[in-house]
Amino acid sequence: MTKKEKSIFRCQNCGFQSPQWIGKCPDCGGWDTLTPERQRPVKGAGGKLSSNYTRPVPMAAIEFEEEPRIQTGIGEFDRVLGGGIVPGTLVLIGGDPGIGKSTLMLQVLAMLSNAGKKTLYVSGEESIRQLKMRGKRLASETISMLVAAETDLDDILAMAEHEMPAAMVVDSIQTVYSPEIASTPGSVTQIREASMRLMTMAKKTGIPLFLVGHVTKGGAIAGPRIMEHMVDTVLYFEGDRSHVFRILRAVKNRFGSTNEIGVFEMKGQGLEEVPNPSAVFLSERPVNTPGSVVTASMEGTRPILVEIQGLASSSSFGTPRRTVLGLDPNRVALIAAVMEKRLGMNLSGLDIFMNVAGGVKVTEPAADLGVAIALASSFLDRPVPEGTTVLGEVGLTGEIRAVSHVEQRIKEAVKMGFTRCLVPANSLKQIPEIAGTRIDGVSSLKQIMALVF
């Protein structure tokens, strides 16, 4: 180590720097996460311009022609991206191990290759023989799809600039390293350097680049948060490995909506898109069974009907349990407290279990009324009338508040054969007459309980 170089200790979770080793990171609270790294000398803040200095130009003087998006042929994937792949975009996709990230990326490149476009798949975790085995199983073998097993950042960049593919995948970013940096692959410094140089290459060449990222135990993408700020789009592949359905969700998208989701089904031949998620999620719904109700959730521009299940049973322990899957546990606790106070239902001494069938996650307030009806149905042991769907937000005083996109939700319910919709009374003014269903407005929990039970 030269005299000008210094050794620092950097947290591998959040990037915190310390001149000496400490056991616990002051920023993120992680134990034994600081590792030594070499710090390159910082140049002085001189005022001289470099030879390749770029002068700023007026925005009005920039000539712009909108480039058409690249269609992958997988409708659910294009929907999440905002209508297709934007040339030169940098997309980061994360998810739990074994959820199907590599499978999805391999199928996307295969679809582009079948359309006559050259694609490049660079893997740092599998050999080319392993990629061949997986491609054969997924029927993703094409001549124009190139694969490589490489982790050296310089070689990956040279490979991309030489081949100039129509789309490229790096799986995963945590395995890529730069020989110029004296730290192990997967460290904060390596991930930041690799992300920055790959982003620069994508912007200069116009190659759409997909980066596959590992996730931590908390579900966040491993590595520094600056990586998510640099990329154009961040996608999360969600789902339980015990369920066949997978949900692709955009949490950041500079070229589209961040509320869109894509639904896929995992099969032996890979992932298959689900064009009508409502029919799939309701296919095994029980009939005339207490504790089950259907509500409409908006995911971007698409309404999806989901089944909310509730179970209130006597507790055998001193402290009742609250187990919630697919919903916000805080909102479920809030709704249970409102029902006990406003409706007189003694739920405080009961175990409460809530679930959204199919492994879907619903976080919007429009599902509040569905939670309340499912709990009441189980508590009273009375089923919800067949063909009834509910939606609305529940307030602390027991009032039912209006929600957005009511008309689209009702039309989706009518398409699935529901004949009665209970909606907030304030939303009736925005809803035209829709044939095939009866729309009732409700303003409080007491009113809807009288209508349903």
97 labeled part of a ligand binding site: yes
- Whether the full predicted model's pTM is greater than 0.85, yes or no, is no
In 3D space, the residue among 211, 205, 124, 126 whose CA is nearest the CA of residue 166 turns out to be: 205
* Long-range Cβ contacts of 129-138 (<8 Å, 24+ apart): 131/106, 134/102, 134/103, 134/106, 135/106, 135/110, 137/268, 137/269, 137/270, 138/103, 138/106, 138/107, 138/110, 138/269, 138/270
247 labeled part of a ligand binding site: no
Alpha-carbon gap, residue 259 to 432, rounded angstroms: 26
C-beta separation of 173 from 191 below 8 A: yes
C-beta separation of 383 from 290 below 8 A: yes
Spell out the per-residue pLDDT of the chain, length 453, in tens.
444 556 788 887 777 888 889 998 888 888 888 888 776 655 554 556 666 677 888 988 888 777 789 999 999 999 999 889 999 999 999 888 888 899 999 999 999 999 999 999 999 999 999 999 888 888 777 788 999 999 999 999 999 999 999 999 999 898 999 988 877 888 888 888 899 999 999 999 999 999 998 876 666 666 666 788 889 999 998 877 667 788 898 989 998 888 788 889 888 888 999 888 898 889 888 888 999 999 999 887 789 999 999 999 998 887 899 999 999 999 999 999 999 999 999 998 899 999 998 878 898 999 999 999 999 999 999 999 999 999 999 999 999 999 999 999 999 999 999 999 999 999 888 888 888 889 999 999 999 999 998
191 labeled part of a ligand binding site: no
Alpha-carbon gap, residue 102 to 140, rounded angstroms: 12
Phi-psi sector, 383: left (phi>0), alpha (psi -120 to 50), beta = beta
Alpha-carbon gap, residue 134 to 126, rounded angstroms: 10
98 labeled part of a ligand binding site: yes
Give residue 11's pLDDT.
82
225 CB burial (10 A radius; 0-12, 13-18, 19+): exposed
Strand partners, 390: 422
Hey, CA dihedral for 99, 103, 109, 115, is it positive or negative?
negative
Structural domains of the chain ordered from first start:
6-39 (no CATH), 69-275 (3.40.50.300), 280-452 (3.30.230.10)
252 labeled part of a ligand binding site: no
In 3D space, the residue among 68, 108, 86 whose CA is nearest the CA of residue 212 turns out to be: 108
99 labeled part of a ligand binding site: yes
